[in-house]
Amino acid sequence: MKKILIVEDEEELASNIAEILSGLDYQVAGIVDNAISALEFLEGNLVDLVLMDILIKGDVDGIDLAYKIREKYDLPIVFSTAYSGTEFLERISSDIHEGYLLKPFTLDSLKTAVFFGLKRYQERLPRPEKSRGSLKVMDKGFLVPIPFNEILYLKADGLYTKVFSKVKSYLVRDILKSFEDKLPEEQFLRVHKSFLINVNHVSSFNAKKINLGEVAIPIRRGLYKELIEKLHVE
């Protein structure tokens, strides 16, 4: 379960955010309202993401605190603020945050910001060696190795399976189930009886469908929570 530190000087709002995050299966590691308390907390606690209000108590605001946290801990940071003026936006370098949440926000916008904050952070980390392999398929008499990272999704087509990569698609005489054993489970997920997707290419999703760029893939009932956990890992 991912641990989130909330840095927010509005006590009631911080409590509401904590309640929402707990309901989304995140663990609220702590709630603080100033930079000194945040840095002291991080000294002795493991955190996966910091949800940071820009205007907090004390002489150090959230933006300056983010630079300190990034330098010392390199944690993903999602900003939240009621201010959208350029005086704040110009100070927020893309190097110090993975998301930006404008108050007042909805449950869905909070969920999306935290989810993609974690995902963007993971995407900039070095890829594990096992994701560098390839899937070998026959195409017009030739054996073609398709790098795992190049595969978008696979679709069942009777006794065949269509493999869709970034550049082209391949029709392979084999059932979709057999590909689950050939592809790394931390990177690929069977989201529907007819679809196996590369979770690294998910751009957005809800309880009914997953978007891989411009391609929409249906999601089977009851898989939403598992998909969230899988994407958090990657």
Cα Rg, the chain, nearest whole Å: 21
Q: Please, are residues 108 and 102 in contact by the beta-carbon 8 Å criterion?
A: no
Q: For the ranges 88-92, 133-137, 144-148, 210-214, which has the lowest average pLDDT?
A: 88-92
Q: What per-residue confidence (pLDDT) applies to 229?
A: 73
Residues 65 and 12 in one domain: yes
- Residue 27 lies in domain: 3-123
Neighbour tally for 167: CB within 10 Å: 7
Q: Which of 123, 146, 178 is the last residue of a domain?
A: 123
Query: At 94, which CATH number?
Result: 3.40.50.2300
The residues that bridge with 143 in the sheet, in sequence order, are 138
Give per-residue pLDDT as tens, 19-76: 999 999 999 999 999 999 999 999 989 899 999 999 899 998 888 898 889 888 889 9
Residues 169 and 81 in one domain: no
E strands, 16-133, are 27-32, 49-53, 77-81, 99-102
User: Domains in the chain: how many in total?
Assistant: 2
* Cis bond before residue 218 (omega within 30° of 0): no
Across the range 210-234, mean pLDDT stands at: 77
Share the mean pLDDT of the chain: 86
In whole angstroms, what is the distance from residue 68 CA to residue 63 CA? 9
Residues 57 and 81 in one domain: yes
Residues 95 and 45 in one domain: yes
Residues 112 and 42 in one domain: yes
**95-142 residue pLDDT tens:** 678 888 888 889 999 999 999 989 888 776 654 444 468 898 888 787
Identify residue 197 by its one-letter amino acid code. I
pLDDT confidence of 233, banded at 50, 70, 90?
very low
Cα 201 to Cα 212: distance, rounded to the nearest angstrom: 6
CA distance 68 to 128: 28
